[in-house]
Amino acid sequence: MTAGPRHPDDGKAPRPLAELAALVSGEVLGDASTSISGVAGLEQAKAGQLSFFGNQKYKKQLAATGASAVLVPRDSPPSDRGVVFVRVDNPHLAFARIAQEFAPKRTYVRGVAAGAHVDPTAIIDATATVMAGATISAGARVGARSVVGPGCYLGERTRIGDDTVLVANVSILEECLVGSRCLLHAGVVIGADGFGFAFDPSVPAHIKIPQTGIARIEDDVEIGANSCVDRATTGETVVGFGSKLDNLVQVGHNSLIGPMTILCAQVGLAGSTELGTGVVLGGQVGVAGHLRIGDLARVGAQAGVMSEVGDGEIVNGSPQMDAKDYMRSVAVFRRLPELNRLMRDLQRRLDALEQESKKP
């Protein structure tokens, strides 16, 4: 068993606001000696805590916050309620940086726990942790300081880099590769067979196309609970470095996901989908196979991408279209019954006029 995280309540030692502001090049409007014991959202924050205000939508929450200090944009006026404001370039990012200062640092007992099942040919770094109930197969490798949690399975010849954590009940199938500094949440499956069959009417049966490729997860990737990245039919399915996938996401075989891409929950990519760098797909988006979504493109929640999306495009709808055009079409969709009535009315009036004009 491992030494656990510190309880959120026992946090880290409080620190003067000046010190934290310096980390994010912040300008303190008020008492810079204010003692900060932690961070929280505007609504949850209490005295002694630091929060952030990055979006004008949350003006009400800012006005009512219990936080002692708030990270605000550079052009913000001082608080009229005595809250200490800290002007920064990017409040959300500054919040992330400071939150990490206070986050409990989880520690793990090194070594292979009794109750873990590790093949003698597997190579586990001496600084890695393998917890009870984990199973590691022949030829697998686990890098320095990495953690294989309870119920995790590493198939034959899989490789896990350094400082990577597989939380619990994660399955990495044979030959697949996971980079360094990755975080794979509970229930993730890497390397299940791609979905490939050819129908043979003479049997009849769906004949399986063997899936002999692999899935490769690059460095600094986070994958949410119960998400799946399928192995390639041949070659590789790739999740690029620094990409972040939310829960219950499906990545089909031979998909190539560029670096720093964001896939929100329940997104599904069919086979051979290519995503460029920094693409953002909203929740429940579906993407057909054999197409490319360009660098920095953004796709609205629930959209269905059925054809190429260019670099930097912002699309929505199913099949997808320019996001602004989509919202205009949706606005008319909502008034369709009215349009329908109006058209019938025009038709009647036109009938009458035509009758009129035929009169001698």
Would you please indicate which residues are annotated as catalytic (active-site) residues? Answer: 253
Q: Is 265 in the site for a second copy (CB under 8 A)?
A: yes
The correct pick among 16, 234, 311, 314 for binding a second copy (CB under 8 A) is 234
Query: Residue 114's CB: how many other CB atoms inside 10 A?
Result: 7
Tokens for 217, please give them.
């997860």
Contact window for a second copy (CB under 8 A) among 14-22, 36-44, 80-88, 307-315 = 36-44
Residue located via tokens 């019954």 = 337
Q: Is 57 in the site for a second copy (CB under 8 A)?
A: yes
Of 177, 188, 158, the residue nearest 219 (C-alpha): 177
Q: Does 333 bind a second copy (CB under 8 A)?
A: yes
From the list 301, 230, 290, 307, the residue with the least C-alpha distance to 262 is 301
Q: How far is the CB of 173 from a second copy (least distance, A)?
A: 7
Torsion of CA 9, 12, 16, 19, to 10 degrees: -140
Query: Is residue 219 close enough to count as binding a second copy by CB under 8 A?
Result: no
- Nearest distance from residue 95's CB to a second copy, in Å? 7
Stretch that binds a second copy, among 15-23, 26-34, 76-84, 227-235 (CB under 8 A): 227-235
Helix residue spans in the chain (DSSP H): 17-23, 59-64, 91-102, 323-334, 336-358
Q: Does 25 bind a second copy (CB under 8 A)?
A: no
Q: Which of 138, 144, 308, 312 binds a second copy (CB under 8 A)?
A: 138
Q: Which of 172, 165, 109, 100 is nearest to 140 (CA)?
A: 172
DSSP state of 56: G
In this chain, which of 210, 307, 308, 312 binds a second copy, going by CB under 8 A?
Answer: 210
8 Å CB contact between 70 and 53: yes
- Exactly one of 40, 69, 130, 217 binds a second copy (CB under 8 A); that residue is 40
The only residue of 150, 161, 179, 276 in contact with a second copy, by rule CB under 8 A: 150
Query: Which is closer to a second copy, CB of 31 or CB of 236?
Result: 236
For 206, the enclosing helix (H) or strand (E) is strand 205-208
Among 25, 33, 35, 44, binds a second copy (CB under 8 A): 44
Does 186 bind a second copy (CB under 8 A)? Our answer is yes
Structural tokens at position 303: 């959209």
